[in-house]
Amino acid sequence: MTKKEEFYRTEFNKMSFLAPIMIEIVDKLKGTDQYRLGLKRHLNGVLRELEKLTDYHFGLYENHAEDDIDGRDIYNVTAKAYDFLLSKTPVDIIHISNIVKELDRSGIKYTDKDIQFQSMIK
């Protein structure tokens, strides 16, 4: 895979994991007057596309396994991580970001830590 293809794949994954979070946000805002009618109309169209994207993205993981780990488990753990981070306040996200930057500067390899996958298939 070329660097450009890898870049697009990474960006697609980011957008796809954010899609369910955006769906939830749009759903929560439906009964409010916090955004203008034009934006509301556009967001309802975006909502339909986000739902399609979420289904497609999950389907990619559904038929994928890595080191005997079911792709659906990889998807769910990753989606929960995105949800966790974005459930934080903006200030909390800044603090988390600063901690990760400090770990990077210190040379601590947090990516070497094992990720615990809990099987959704029983």
pLDDT in tens, 94-116: 999 999 999 999 999 888 888 87
Query: Given a cut of 90, is residue 76 above it in pLDDT?
Result: no
Q: Quick one: DSSP state of residue 111?
A: G
CA 75 to CA 63: how far, in whole Å?
Answer: 11
Q: Which of 32, 73, 25 is nearest to 50 (CA)?
A: 25
The pLDDT of residue 34: 66
pTM for the model: 0.71
Which tokens is 99 given? 């901690």
CA 22 to CA 92: how far, in whole Å?
Answer: 19
Q: Which of 16, 15, 47 is nearest to 29 (CA)?
A: 47
Which of 20-24, 26-30, 32-36: highest mean pLDDT?
20-24
pLDDT in tens, 31-74: 777 666 677 778 778 888 889 988 998 888 888 777 778 888 88
Where are the domains positioned within the chain? 3-112
The pLDDT of residue 23: 84
